[in-house]
């Protein structure tokens, strides 16, 4: 049984909107991920196939490991490589993969200021009123699949140049097809993308198998320091500046390590402390139980979501660990009682 039985998006309205737009600006969220970049490149090529004049402008540059999704350098950075004059002349501003002001960064000013029609294609639950026409499917696994639907409704056949970025979008937003958001539709769509020329092994290799030796060594050191509390339900670890230096890693290499700790059987909560060059510790919280991480992060003036949140603490390693541990244990006991 397919989870997404009824399509909440009015594609007829979308194709009408595209029909009457000639100059189209595409944008997406800050900290661009493969769904953001892949959806933009895919949509850009679909619209260009229809003879539209399209530019992609983001608030932040594309991360180096995702540049392969944009081989022609189509994505521009606001204020650096795109003129205000061009932006002033657009008919349609299409936001992909977000409906939140905070996620648009500096592009939020462009969305607020434009005289053009604004539209959103997104799969996130909820969001802000961006003053846009919404084409949202909150059960969709990735914005990239919605772009595939757009291509279908616009009568554009998928090419390899569309299929590769869209495959990267769907594959990464589903954790390589393992999240609960995956449905038979996901596999039907990705089968279409393969038929159009996307090679999953090649995309996987570029995304996940080009890491530095420093990153590998940092992961090893950090995972070795994992400890548990609450009878194994809470797992935590830490990275000091000395760890970065001795591993030959840089600050971005700490990404995702906290998620790896939650692969241990029985773990429900996790945190990692990452020492910052200017002093203090960045804390990442994760939960896969009823504990709301954002509430714990708030105690340290941080924030985020129920399952993932972050904060910063200006204190010694021992003091930071002690305080964070206390708050995590308190939060767990508030939900489940002091049995552990
Ligand atoms: Mn997405």
pLDDT at 1: 43
Model pLDDT, residue 339? 60
- The alpha carbon of 224 and the centre of ligand 1 are apart by a number of angstroms equal to 32
pLDDT cut 90: percent of the chain above it: 89
CB distance 114 to 90 below 8 Å: yes
Distance in Å, CA 166 to ligand 1 centroid: 11
Cα 124 to chain centroid distance, Å, stands at: 11
Going by the DSSP 8-state scheme, the letter that residue 177 receives in this structure is T
Query: For helices 34-49 and 143-154, what crossing angle results, to 10°?
Result: 10
Ligand 1 centroid to residue 202 C-alpha, Å: 21
- 122 C-alpha to ligand 1 centroid (Å): 7
State the chain's mean pLDDT as an integer: 95
pLDDT for position 157: 98
CA of 223 to the centre of ligand 1 (A): 28
Cα 129 to middle of ligand 1, angstroms: 18
pLDDT at res. 2: 52
Q: Which residue has the tokens 């996987």?
A: 204
What are the Cα distances from residue 40, in Å, to 70, 235, 243, 293? Answer: 9, 37, 37, 31
What does the pLDDT read at residue 337? Answer: 87
Residues 6+ apart with CB under 8 A from 94: 24, 25, 26, 27, 43, 118, 119, 120, 121
Distance between Cα 307 and ligand 1 center (Å): 16
- Separation CA 138–CA 232 (nearest Å): 34
Q: What's the 132 CA to ligand 1 centre distance in angstroms?
A: 18
d(CA 314, CA 131): 39
Å from CA of 333 to ligand 1 middle: 33
- Report CA(340)–ligand 1 centroid distance (Å): 37
For the chain, percent helix, then strand, then coil, each to nearest 5? 45, 20, 40
Residue 88 Cα to ligand 1 middle (Å): 28
Query: Tokens at residue 305, please?
Result: 């979501």
Q: For the chain, which residues score pLDDT lower than 70?
A: 1-5, 339-340
Separation of CA 253 and ligand 1 centre (Å): 22
* CA nearest to 14, candidates 124, 98, 132: 132
Evaluate the CA torsion angle 94, 95, 101, 105 in order and state its sign. Answer: negative
CA of 26 to the centre of ligand 1 (A): 15
DSSP string of 276-294?
A: -TTSSEEEEEEESSS--HH
* CA 332 – ligand 1 centroid, Å: 29
| pLDDT at 82 (0 to 100) | 87
Tell me: the pLDDT tens digits for 119-145? 999 999 888 999 999 999 999 999 999
Ligand 1 geometric centre to CA of 173 (Å)? 6
pLDDT in tens, 226-280: 999 999 999 999 999 999 999 999 988 998 899 999 999 999 999 999 999 999 9
The pLDDT value recorded for residue 305 is 82
- Sheet strands (E) in the chain: 23-27, 53-58, 75-77, 92-96, 117-122, 133-136, 227-229, 234-239, 269-275, 281-287, 303-304, 308-313
Nearest-Å Rg of the Cα atoms of the chain is: 22
């Amino acid at each position: 049984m397919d989870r997404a039985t009824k399509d909440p998006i009015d594609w007829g309205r979308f194709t009408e909107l595209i029909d009457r737009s000639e100059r189209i600006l595409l944008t997406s969220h800050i900290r661009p991920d493969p769904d953001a970049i892949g959806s933009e490149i895919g949509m850009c090529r679909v619209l260009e196939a229809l003879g539209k004049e399209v530019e992609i402008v983001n608030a932040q540059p594309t991360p180096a490991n995702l540049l392969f999704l944009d081989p022609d350098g189509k994505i521009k950075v606001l204020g650096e490589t795109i003129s205000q004059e061009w932006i002033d002349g657009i008919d349609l501003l299409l936001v992909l993969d977000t409906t939140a002001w905070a996620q648009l960064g500096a592009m939020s000013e462009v969305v607020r200021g434009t005289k053009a029609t604004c539209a959103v294609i997104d799969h996130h639950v909820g969001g802000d009123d961006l003053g846009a026409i919404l084409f949202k499917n909150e059960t969709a696994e990735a914005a990239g699949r919605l772009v595939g639907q757009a291509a279908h409704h616009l009568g554009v056949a998928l090419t390899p140049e569309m299929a590769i970025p869209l495959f990267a979008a769907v594959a990464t937003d589903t954790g390589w097809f393992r999240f609960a958001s995956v449905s038979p539709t996901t596999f039907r769509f990705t089968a279409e993308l393969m038929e159009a020329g996307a090679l999953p092994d090649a995309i996987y290799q570029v995304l996940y198998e080009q890491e530095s030796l420093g990153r590998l060594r940092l992961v090893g050191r950090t995972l070795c320091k994992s400890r548990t509390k609450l009878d194994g339900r809470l797992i935590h670890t830490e990275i000091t500046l000395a760890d970065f230096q001795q591993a030959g890693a840089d600050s971005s290499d700490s990404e995702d390590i906290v998620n790896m700790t939650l692969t241990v059987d029985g773990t429900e909560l996790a945190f990692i402390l990452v020492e910052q060059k200017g002093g203090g510790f960045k804390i990442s919280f994760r939960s896969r139980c009823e504990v709301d991480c954002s509430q714990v992060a708030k105690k340290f003036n941080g924030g985020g979501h129920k399952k993932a949140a972050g904060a910063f603490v200006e204190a010694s390693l021992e003091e930071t660990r002690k305080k964070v541990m206390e708050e995590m244990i308190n939060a767990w006991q508030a939900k489940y009682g002091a049995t552990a």
